[in-house]
A and B are shown apart, each in its own frame.
Chain A
Amino acid sequence: MIWLIRLTALRLRQEVLEWSGAWWFLLTLVVQAVLGPLIGLFVWSAIFPTNPYVTKYYVALMLVTLMTESFEQYTFAERIYDGTIGHELLRPQPVVVGVIGTNIAIRIWLTVMGAPVVVLAEIALQVPFSWSAVVLALPALVIAAALTFLWTLALSLSAFWTERVHAIVGFGSYVSTLLGGTIAPLAFLPEPWRAIGKVLPFYAMLGLPAEIATGRVHGVAIVTGNAYQLGWVAALTVLSISLWRLGVRRYTVVGG
């Protein structure tokens, strides 16, 4: 187990250094990540101008989005398409080590570049956060990060079967923004969708950490929320592993 962690850490270091060269591209990714919650903030604070919760929620959501962004359809699925995944398959380590390393490296850069924007927004919009709520939101945030990775990975594994992985991941990410709390906080969705959203994993990926950080979800609800997140982590892990095993079996590329 230790060697897996060390390998991932080594890969992480390598990817962080590699991505440091593309800082301008990472900036455009920061803009892309921040813009969804920002537009939501403008829309909902235009509808409810006297409600400070909306602004606070979306500022928290900006940081959550930055820290959980996943691009496996580009970093992983593209390598399945052009065959370079063969290099990874030949190594005596699980392929997912590389994928996790790249994912966390990009997130680290996005967070480092985007955190000042979030802090600026917090100060400019005058929505102070309480430290206790933020600390309580951290476990939820870590699990949400794992969950978003697993969801994007599971969708990207469809690259073994179809050429249109970008469409599939795009659809998945759209559903995630709708039912997870970016287009509207879950409390504002109409009834059947709110109940559906509470059950599906998207709220666990986005809305739940943000709502814990704003203080709206507190006490026992945080623990039940974390348990529900962990349940989805287990489900998506099983799904990803099965899809990977099925996909690799039917994959052929030059060299193997």
Chain B
Amino acid sequence: MPENLGPHLLALESLGLIRPLQEEPDLVYRFRHGLTQEAAYASVTRRQRRSLHLMIGQVLDELNPERKDEVVDLLAYHFAAAGDATRAGIYARLAAQRALSTYAYDEAVLHLQRALKVVDVDGPDETRWTLYEALGDVHALLHQGTRAIDSYQRALSILERLPHSDRTDAIRLHRKVVQMGSEIKWAIDRDAFQDVNRAVQASGESLDRSLELIHGPSPHPETVRLLSVLSVAAWRMRHPPDWQTAAGHARAAVRMAIHLGSPVEHSVALEALGNALFGLGQLRQSLEAAEQRLEISRQPGFPDERECLDALRGAACAMVYVGEYEQAIPLLLEAEQAAQRMQSADQIFNVMALLTQCWFRLDRWDEIRSRRGLWEDFERRFPQERTGPLCWPQGLRAVVCTLSGDVEAGTALRDRSFGTMVRTFGQEGGWLRNAHY
């Protein structure tokens, strides 16, 4: 502590403006009232403030070389407030990663947006596009597809202006746009999807043009992901779906992932393969792919818990499609706990909808009825983009109400289900087969 600081702190303490919070390992004081802090802060000029924030950031940086991870959010805050675009960007990304490790999604968004406010003004383009990509990734985890696509597009527009940018960065960003577009296609209102579809289509065309890079000599994890996304796009973004192309890309992705020995990419590729096999009507083979994916994701040391959760959900879903409802239920209950821990609204919805279907098929109506409050709470808390369309579970619940003799409740739920379908898929004439369920 500087020599002249002690008397000042004692004076402030005797005036009742601050109070000591802790003495070890570091001496910490806190303002007694937030208003005092605000008044003190406002009394300093903007230039002085930036200078002080910079000083604090530098001191924190120097004093904590071994435990930087613990103060990274403070570093991000002070360097952003200091207007130090480069360090604000670096620490915001690290702080966002740290926040995501504890599922603090909003905090991650806050760090990145705060840094972008500084970096967008006079920051280096390299920092800007990486921040936008990181922000897009957080929105993608939140299943906020339209925001994710917007962030990826901003990143792309900056990246494409850079004279010496790496082409693989652009391919990755285009891949993420198509991936997000594919994921939200049936999760958001039809009109809202039309707004983002142009960007998704443009990225899809760009990826198609990148195919020569995909077939380059050296396998790469990003190439596995790209092939997997192209596989999904071949059925989800084309009409009619091209299942053969989807299977071809997925098989190539699986082969490359095995060659790489990369379990996460192997899992991603197997999901794509399972989907393509479903489309080809090979439901048992689709289940085999899903079970293989689950086995890989359950290996000790598998590093991606979100992929692990999706593998659990995917295996249960593949079981449901071949009528193995009893076997699917324990996986779904396990997935539900994991999804709640990760605060993943879309996965909670997927799992609850699959559980509802299992109970429905097994005539376990009491279990469906017991979740009524949960569904209603879920509908209140999350917009459809975060969850997926609720028409399917609403329809199943409508059936149970009607078969139980509560025709009024059944009709109301059926009408709600129908309304969701019209908003999501348009009028009946244009529905996919699933919507006729």
Same complex: no
